[in-house]
Amino acid sequence: MNLDLSTNNIDSVGIIQLAESMNYFTNLKSISLKSNKIGSDGAIALMKSIVNCIELEHLQFQCNSIGPDGAVAIAHWVSSTSKRRPDQNSTLLVLNLSSCKWTKKMSTIAHSIS
């Protein structure tokens, strides 16, 4: 199952509302949220809500303002996905965080998860 909500002017409030229903979509293979208005709070809420999406292959957040805290939440999700499946590598193939108004701190975080 794929979820593409790209270019919908979704802000953190909208993503937080979406996150509340994400527990029902554990078989997602792709989530595309590019070119929205998602901030740190939205990214954090989404990453907490997709903890059971262990088959996720594509996660696209480019062109959002996820901030350092959002980047940390994504890094923790990537790390926890690998730990939940010790017999396999993480299924995540694509993580796109380009054009997310990086700060120096976020660049350091990005290098730690790549």
Mean pLDDT of the chain, nearest integer: 85
Query: Each residue of 58-68: pLDDT tens digit?
Result: 999 999 999 88
For the chain, which domains are there?
2-113 (3.80.10.10)
Q: What is the pTM of this model?
A: 0.83
| pLDDT for the residue numbered 103 | 61
| Range 33-51 average pLDDT | 94
The rounded distance, in Å, linking the Cα atoms of 82 and 85 is: 6
Please check the confidence at residue 86 and state whether its pLDDT lies above 80.
no
| pLDDT for the residue numbered 18 | 94
Buried b (16+ CB within 10 A) or exposed e, 56-84: bebbbbbbbbbbebbbbbbbebbeebeee
Size of the chain, expressed as the number of residues it contains? 114
Please check the confidence at residue 55 and state whether its pLDDT lies above 70.
yes
